Amino acid sequence: MLTWLWIAELAFALAAYVVLDGFDLGVGILSGFIGNMSLRDEMLATISPVWDGNGTWLVIAGTIMWGAFPPVYSIVLPALYIPLAVMLIGLIMRGVAIEFSHRAGQSRWVWDMLLFVGSLLAAFMQGVSVGTYAQGLPVSQLRYTGTGLEWCSAFPLWCGTALVLGYVVLGAGWLVLKGEGRLQQFGRTAASRLAPLAMLFAASIFVTTLVAHREVEARWLAHPALFVLPLLCLLTFFGSSQTARSGSARLPYALAAASCLLLLLTLAASLLPYVVPFDVTIFDAAAPESTQKFMFWGAGLFVLPLIVVYTYVAYWVFRGKVSREHGYH
């Protein structure tokens, strides 16, 4: 019973991270295409109050994996040392750039460049990591037996590009939601143009996965109702583009977030009960029951609900439209 609880909490943490930190990484990438410094300051003001809290969900997901599913942690980490290290470098660059750009003078261009490059690196390497995981890792007796370079192939790199596009659409939707005037119009233009491209990338990943993995193909053909998930994912990306054009303030972000959640659901539907495709199941990887109970009384019962409350309060306090004058700094 507790094993499924930890799977649910891990899925919740990953979904929260993608939906929340995804938009501020997307905004960071979009900032590289803004030449007007005043407009860039408004853009940063939309994410300044929340970007650091959003990253907490990635830490929670890693902690749950380490404590509740240690074999998965021991397999995935060495397989992804390089992309995860580059991702962390990108996240550090993004965080430092956000803090320093508000105080910089002549060096402002350096921090603006680091914000763009750091956000792009972090987003791309997260997609590469997901693609490497989804294509399967060499495992023998719950031990990783690969070279650490499985990510250097077409499918993971394609997934990295797809996730960058997905995050950019999320970021554009966030600018539509939080911005006004020129900033909001920039978000609408970006969302309307890039959401269809993200939709095409997502469709190509679905098709490639079905063709490359017979286990996934067999599962989906045996349960045709599962095809509703990718179809809804593609439709919500399309809807994000259309609502950005139509003038809605909330729907572009909401539909882009729904697309990302549907992508995660599609991945889960394709793999579960495997947590390392297609070698290690949830129950193979689960920690001893005593460990899971110990985690439950701390992380499960108090820490996760506390982070949820903190996140809600932060977004409630900083609700509404923002501008350069009303930013966090």
Residue ranges per domain, the chain? Answer: 8-317
What is the C-alpha separation between 244 and 295, in angstroms, rounded?
43
CATH number of this structure's domain 8-317: 1.20.1630.10
Spatial CA neighbour of 239 closest among 213, 219, 259, 225: 259
User: What pLDDT shows up at residue 1?
Assistant: 66
- Which residues, listed in sequence order, are joined to residue 281 by a DSSP beta bridge? 274
pLDDT of residue 193: 92
| Phi, then psi, of 80 in degrees rounded to 5 | -120, 25
pTM here is 0.92
pLDDT of residue 25: 94
List of the chain residues with pLDDT < 50: 328
Cα(138)–Cα(70) distance, rounded to whole angstroms? Answer: 17
Q: What is the pLDDT of residue 326?
A: 53
Please, which residues have CB within 8 angstroms of residue 326's CB and are 6 or more apart in sequence? 45
pLDDT at residue 329, as a whole number = 52
**Confidence at residue 255, expressed as pLDDT on a 0 to 100 scale:** 93
Mean pLDDT of the chain: 87
